Chains A and B, each alone.
Chain A
Amino acid sequence: MTQLPPVHVEGVAFWTAQLPDWQTARAVIRGESLPPQARIARPTPALLAPTERRRAPDTVAVALEVGMRACEAAGQDPAMLAAVFASTHGDLAISDYLCATLAATPALISPTRFHNSVHNAAAGYWSIGTKAHAPYTALSASVHTFGNGLLEAATQALSAGQPVLYVAFDAEARGALASMAPSRGLLGVAVVLGVETPAKPSRRLTLTVAPCDTPRPTSARSPAASLVAHNALAPCLPFFEALADPSPRALVLTLGEQLELQVGLQ
């Protein structure tokens, strides 16, 4: 068992079709309001110049939206932050398109979609849009993606002694791949993790890596659960339920088949 020194959650962001910002999501998680009926198809990434914006797929749009909102909430300049981007599947719609086109008409692959198909596309668009020269990481860890991304971001913040932006997202699966890697809707979340006690109130986050026989992740139980339950990133919700609750909370995320991440929020 390994416990990391605490980090501070300086800013939080959340986006899904019916919960398009953290304030709305937090109120719904707490049961203070019902989710809006209106569903927003995708956020508009104002960060990007028109040329990048018109090429940005949904995965990039949601990643940039939550990244910007988390930096705003933290009062941090996005250009100065190292960043970790995590996604279970990347852009499955593009992966399906590439597979189907390669099988049928391989000479007719869209260069734009090929350009957008890589797992670090969102991170690349982010660094273009923010003009950030800070390092970024793009990772995937199957169903354990959110916990591994959180651990990576906290580890980087602690080792560098600098705040780190953590962005996680997953989108709708399409075509044949949807039968193997199902995911519904568009979901993006972000936090800025800092190592110094911020001037404004923040939550203190303590992470412990613990070997186990079988991970027992905390289940989502808020009214927001049904809105994200079928997205591949749904395992992130218990963490945001804990953030929405101002009282100290503990929860478990999975890191692997025999490894769990014990999360304390004070």
Chain B
Amino acid sequence: MAVSQSDGERELAELIVTALNLEGVLPEEIDPEAPLFKTGLGLDSIDALELALEISKRYGFQLRSDDENNVHIFASLRSLAQHIAQHRVN
């Protein structure tokens, strides 16, 4: 499957696959606009916490579990990568 990812999306896709130990998923094959949770990659709430932790370590800013925008921030690879681009410190 050929999908078009920006450099930031590709870097985040690699972090997701590595941090969550996803089996049979290649970073370059993650559709930037597909849902990350439930359908799409099929991630769950523990994955969301794990991902938030890895993003904090890599990019130097906190993703808060009580942020009311989390549904939008974590909706897709693209939305998460855009949020990181806006807030990253590292």
Q: Show the binding face of A for B, using Cβ within 8 Å.
A: 50-51, 53-55, 108-112, 115
Q: Are A53 and B23 in contact (CB under 8 A)?
A: yes
Q: For chain B, which range describes its interface: under 10, 10 to 19, 20 to 34, or 35 or more residues?
A: 10 to 19
Does B57 count as interface, using CB distance less than 8 angstroms? yes
Q: List the 5 shortest-distance A-B pairs measured between CB atoms, nearest first.
A: A111-B49, A54-B21, A112-B50, A54-B23, A111-B50
Q: Are A108 and B20 in contact (CB under 8 A)?
A: no
Does B56 count as interface, using CB distance less than 8 angstroms? yes
Residues 26-59 of B at the A interface (beta carbon under 8 Å):
42, 44, 46, 49-50, 53, 56-57
Q: Are A108 and B57 in contact (CB under 8 A)?
A: yes
Q: Are B46 and A50 in contact (CB under 8 A)?
A: no
Q: Are A55 and B21 in contact (CB under 8 A)?
A: yes
Q: Show the binding face of B for A, using Cβ within 8 Å.
A: 20-23, 42, 44, 46, 49-50, 53, 56-57
- A54-B21, A108-B53 are known contacts; what are 18 more A-B pairs with Cβ within 8 Å? A50-B23, A51-B42, A51-B44, A54-B20, A54-B22, A54-B23, A55-B21, A55-B46, A108-B56, A108-B57, A110-B50, A111-B46, A111-B49, A111-B50, A111-B53, A112-B46, A112-B50, A115-B46
A108 to B59, CA, bound (A): 13
- 9 A-B pairs, CB-CB below 8 angstroms? A50-B23, A51-B42, A53-B23, A55-B21, A108-B56, A109-B53, A111-B50, A111-B53, A112-B50
A109 to B49, CA, bound (A): 10
Chain A residues within an 8 Å CB radius of B21: 54-55
Look across to chain B and name the residue whose beta carbon is closest to the beta carbon of A113: B50
| Distance (whole angstroms) from the CB of A264 to the closest CB of chain B | 45
A110 to B23, CA, bound (A): 19
Look across to chain B and name the residue whose beta carbon is closest to the beta carbon of A49: B42
